[in-house]
Each structure stands twice: as C-alpha cells, then as structure tokens.
C-alpha cells in the first residue's frame, strides 16, 4: 500500500470538495440572464424546440449517472415530463422509447466517456434532440450534441468527481425549471422554485462545516469492510453516490439502498460488523423506518444518521443512532445536493486514515482510458479481461 500513500499536503479530492460553493456560484451566474431569464448556450436551448418534448432521456456513467438519477426528480416534478434514466453502459435498452419528441441529455464531467457518447449518438439516430451537460468543453460529447450546458466547476484533477457532480445537479435543476417555464408554469411558483435553487452555493458552504465531525466518524468506521447507506426517494441517488465514493476513495464495500426495501432481503446481512448510515429527514420518516432502526439496535449495528438541523431536529431516528450528522436545512429539492457533502468528506477521511491516495483510487483509470480498453477488449478475439 506504500505506493498509494498521500504525497501532497492537500489532495485535489479534498480541495475540490471545498471548492464546491464557488463552483456552484460560478455555474449559477453563467446561466442567469436579465429578468431571471435562463441563458442556455450553444445553441440557445430553445432552438432545440423544447415545446414538442414529451419525455426526457438521461444517460451517464459513475458519479454523473447519480446526477442523472437526481435529474429525474427535478424534471418530472418541475416540468411534469416523464424521464427515463439509463446507465450509459446499458445504452440501447430503452431504444424503443426514444423518438423525435425525446430530449436526450448526456451527462459527463470529462465529456469523454465513450459509453455516454454512444448513448447520445444512439438517441440522436432516433431523432431525439440532444443535449450534453459537461465540465470539459469542447469535448467529444459537446461536439456530438446539438446543444450543451457547461458546468463551471473549473479544472478537475481528482479522478473521483465531487464539484462537477454538484454543479451537474444544479444545471439539471435549472434545466427542469427552463422546461417548466416553456411549458407555461405558473410564474410565481416558478420564481419561488428558482429563488430556492439560487440559495444552493450558500447552503453548500454551510454544509462544509460538517467536516470536523466527520473526522471523528471516520475514525470509528476505519476497521469495517462493509457498509450500507439507506435513504428514501430523491435521497437514494446520494446514498448510491456515497457508496461509490466509499468504494473508490476509501476502498470499503458499500451499498446504497432504499430504506423501504432493506427489510426485503439485505437485512439478512446485517450485524455488528456492518455499520449503517441512514439519510432521513424528520418529515419523511415512516413507522417502518423506526422498526428497522430498532432491529439494528437489537443486532448491535453501529448506526449513523444524516439529517438536517433547524426546525426538523425532532428526528425520531436520532435517539437510536450512535452519531447524528447534520447538514443545513434546505428546500426539499436541494436536500440531496447538500447531503452528499458529509458522504464526500467521509470517503476522504476514511481513505486518509488508511493511507490511500484520494486522487488516484486504487486500480482506477480515467473514463476515457477505461472506455478505450473496453472497446479494445470487445474487439479482441479473446474478449480479454479489462483488469489484465
């Protein structure tokens, strides 16, 4: 493990977590025109003839895929358009559903993941309007799409994405708002939703103060090899993103799961050796969540609760948790983005305590290289393994 030792004083991964408020503020500023008009670049988004759109198709890999899962809630709730979300590596499964009334949105930090590019091209071949949400511009994805929305996260040096992810989630929220506006949303409701979204950089800035407490939680989790992160509804993508970060950066086997599904099988794996992180807000807790938490207690499971501070502090699960981590109270559509911050820090501090290099997670390579290797492997007569 010696070659994985952190050699820089501040790894890019940590630096990029802390850059999120600025990245979000820059991204927000870029898309704000006079009179709260949303500016959308190359070409102006309206040129994609969004009035005719009857469904959205989101596709991406890894962390960007989790932003796509968040986008589904934003677009379905704000614009009332059904959304399909597909991992780009599964590209083509929803082929029959994509048509000229579909808005296909491919999301990528690098703009170079081959699977994401292929998904976008496939959607274009079915007549869909295509949009790229990218951080690196120009990139193969922006060149292939009819329109692009750029995140202004700045240069990303860490392989594992943090600031690009929160900026993607913000842009996808703005996209949901723009679609709602085009489809004649009530002006006052639209304005209120927009005002809430524009508070995001400040909320994330406050959320960063959770780091101190996270260092302590990381020291408690250091000796465990497995972990579950449970959540409900719109928080599930963050549970999955937290689990991905724990795998990549801290090399812990972690799974994100719907809390309501957890009793239907996964519970069999739970013991004092499987810590559980529950993401739950006071106003969303169901009686079955409490029953599950009592079961965890009976099995001596270490339980960590992530919730919000403020008026919702009366969280019924708090008394059953070994530790409670709070994030600033946020409008419910912004909760996911604010809640991912403690999970990013947790992955970092766990990895740091293990002496791992946060910027180059073990054995992982850039999305572009991965895609190239995959293509070579598929073309080779032996179909050689990616790891070899």
- Sites of contact with ligand BG6 (CB under 6 A): 61-64, 108-110, 113, 116, 159-161, 364, 367, 370
Q: Distance between CA 108 and CA 141 in Å, rounded?
A: 8
Q: Distance between CA 180 and CA 81 in Å, rounded?
A: 9
Nearer to ligand BG6 (CB atom), residue 199 or residue 374: 374
Q: Which of 308, 365, 318, 317 is nearest to 341 (CA)?
A: 308
Nearer to ligand BG6 (CB atom), residue 70 or residue 108: 108
Which tokens go with 304?
């960590």
Q: Distance between CA 299 and CA 275 in Å, rounded?
A: 11
| 101 neighbors 52 (Cβ within 8 angstroms) | yes
Closest distance of CB 52 from ligand BG6, Å: 28
Which tokens go with 270?
């739970």
Q: How does 82-107 read in b/e, with b if 16+ C-beta sit within 10 Å?
A: ebbbbbbbebeebeeebeeebbbbbb
Q: Distance between CA 136 and CA 159 in Å, rounded?
A: 14
In order, the DSSP letters of 140-158 are HHHHHSSEEEE-------S
Closest distance of CB 305 from ligand BG6, Å: 27
Closest distance of CB 386 from ligand BG6, Å: 11
Task: Tell me what percent of the chain is helix, strand and coil, each rounded to the nearest 5.
Answer: 50, 15, 35
Query: Mind spelling out the 3-state secondary structure of 98-117?
Result: CCCCEEEEEEECCCCCHHHH
Closest distance of CB 244 from ligand BG6, Å: 7
Nearer to ligand BG6 (CB atom), residue 110 or residue 344: 110
Nearer to ligand BG6 (CB atom), residue 182 or residue 364: 364
Nearer to ligand BG6 (CB atom), residue 285 or residue 340: 340
**DSSP-based three-state secondary structure for 11:** coil
Nearer to ligand BG6 (CB atom), residue 168 or residue 274: 168
Closest distance of CB 100 from ligand BG6, Å: 26
Q: Which of 112, 164, 117 is nearest to 138 (CA)?
A: 112
Closest distance of CB 361 from ligand BG6, Å: 7
Closest distance of CB 218 from ligand BG6, Å: 20
Residue 10 class from Cβ within 10 Å (0-12 exposed, 13-18 middle, 19+ buried)? exposed
Closest distance of CB 343 from ligand BG6, Å: 14
Nearer to ligand BG6 (CB atom), residue 108 or residue 150: 108
Nearer to ligand BG6 (CB atom), residue 141 or residue 270: 141
């Amino acid at each position: 493990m010696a070659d994985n030792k952190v050699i820089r004083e501040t790894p890019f991964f940590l630096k990029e977590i802390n850059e999120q408020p600025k990245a979000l503020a820059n991204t927000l500023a870029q898309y704000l025109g006079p009179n709260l008009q949303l500016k959308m670049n190359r070409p102006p988004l309206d040129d994609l003839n969004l009035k005719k759109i009857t469904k959205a198709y989101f596709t991406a890999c890894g962390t960007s895929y989790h932003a796509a899962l968040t986008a589904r809630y934003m677009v379905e709730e704000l614009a009332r358009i059904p959304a399909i979300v597909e991992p780009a590596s599964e590209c083509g499964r929803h082929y029959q559903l994509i048509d000229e009334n579909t808005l296909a949105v491919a999301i990528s930090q690098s703009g170079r993941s081959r699977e994401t590019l292929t998904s976008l091209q496939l959607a274009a071949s079915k007549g869909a309007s295509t949009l790229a949400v990218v951080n690196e511009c120009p990139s193969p994805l922006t060149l292939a799409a009819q329109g692009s929305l750029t995140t202004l996260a700045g240069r990303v040096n860490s392989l594992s994405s943090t600031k690009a992810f929160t900026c993607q989630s913000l842009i996808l929220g703005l996209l949901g708002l723009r679609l709602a506006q085009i489809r004649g949303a009530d002006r006052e409701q639209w304005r209120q939703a927009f005002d809430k979204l524009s508070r995001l950089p400040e909320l994330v800035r406050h959320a960063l103060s959770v780091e101190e407490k996270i260092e302590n939680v990381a020291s408690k989790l250091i000796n465990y090899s497995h972990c579950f992160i449970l959540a409900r509804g719109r928080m599930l993508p963050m549970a999955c993103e937290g689990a991905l970060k724990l795998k990549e950066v801290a090399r812990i086997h972690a799974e994100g799961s719907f809390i309501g599904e957890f009793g239907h099988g996964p519970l069999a794996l739970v013991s004092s050796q499987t810590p559980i992180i529950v993401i739950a807000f006071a106003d969303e807790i169901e009686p079955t969540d409490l029953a599950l938490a009592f079961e965890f207690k009976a099995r001596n499971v270490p339980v960590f609760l992530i919730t919000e501070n403020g008026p919702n502090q009366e969280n019924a699960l708090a008394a059953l948790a070994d530790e409670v981590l709070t994030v600033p109270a946020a409008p419910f559509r912004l909760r996911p983005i604010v809640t991912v911050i403690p999970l990013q820090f947790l992955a970092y501090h766990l990895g740091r305590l293990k002496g791992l290099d946060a910027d180059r997670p073990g054995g992982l390579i850039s999305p572009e290289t991965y895609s190239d290797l995959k293509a070579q492997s598929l073309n080779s007569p032996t179909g050689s393994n990616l790891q070899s």
